[in-house]
């Protein structure tokens, strides 16, 4: 099975809108899913660029899906549904 890629945006907008806390899942995810999941922080997913898209930051990319207004709970839910497919 291919690894599931998670990209957490660490751009200014995502950080200010509460993205810092999402990085904290790295350790628990690694512990729980080992190398089935690969987490990286990326400079900017460019999701916030259009007119008022900043309001739905932070953004997280998981294997083709973009999560807006992301928080730990949402990211873990999407991750689990992808893993259980």
Partner 1 sequence: MSETPELETKRLKREVLIRIIKAFMSDNFAENVRLIPYDMRPKGSEVPFRCCVYKERAVLRSRTIAGLGFAMEDDDERTLLSDFANRALERKRPESEPLTVLQNACKGCPSARVFVTELCQNCVAKPCMKACRFGALDSNGNRAVIDNTKCKRCGLCMTACPYHAIVKTIVPCEEACPVGAIAKGEDGLAYIDSQKCISCGKCVSACPFGAPHAKSQVIDILKHIKQGREVIAMFAPALIGHLPCKPEQVQDAFLKIGFSAVYEVAQGADITAKTEAKDFKERLDQGQPFMTTSCCAGYNELVKKHLPEIKPYVSDAKTPLYYTAEIVKKEHPNAVTVFISPCFAKRREVLDNPNINYLMSFEELGAVLIALGIEIDAGSEKEFSYQSSKEAREFALSGGVARSVQAAWKGDENAIKPVLINGLDKTAIRNLKMYANTGKCAEGNLIEVMCCTGGCIAGNACLGIVKEAQKKVSDYGNQGQSLKTAGEKRND
Does residue 30 bind partner 1 (CB under 8 A)? no
Q: Which residues pair with 79 in a beta bridge?
A: none
Contact with partner 1 (CB under 8 A) among 10, 47, 67, 78: 10
Q: Which residues pair with 62 in a beta bridge?
A: 6, 65
Rounded CA-CA distance 66/35 in Å is 21
Does residue 55 bind partner 1 (CB under 8 A)? yes
Does residue 82 bind partner 1 (CB under 8 A)? no
Rounded CA-CA distance 53/8 in Å is 16
Distance in Å, CB of 32 to partner 1, minimum: 17
Smaller CB separation from partner 1, 16 or 81: 16
């Amino acid at each position: 099975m291919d690894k599931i890629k998670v990209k957490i945006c660490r751009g200014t907008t995502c950080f200010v809108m509460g993205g810092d806390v999402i990085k904290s899942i790295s350790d628990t995810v690694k512990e729980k899913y080992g190398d089935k999941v690969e987490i990286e922080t990326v400079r900017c997913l460019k999701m916030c660029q259009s007119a008022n898209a900043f309001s739905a930051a932070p953004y997280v990319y998981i294997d083709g899906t973009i999560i807006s207004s992301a928080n730990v709970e949402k990211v873990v839910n999407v991750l689990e549904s992808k893993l259980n497919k």
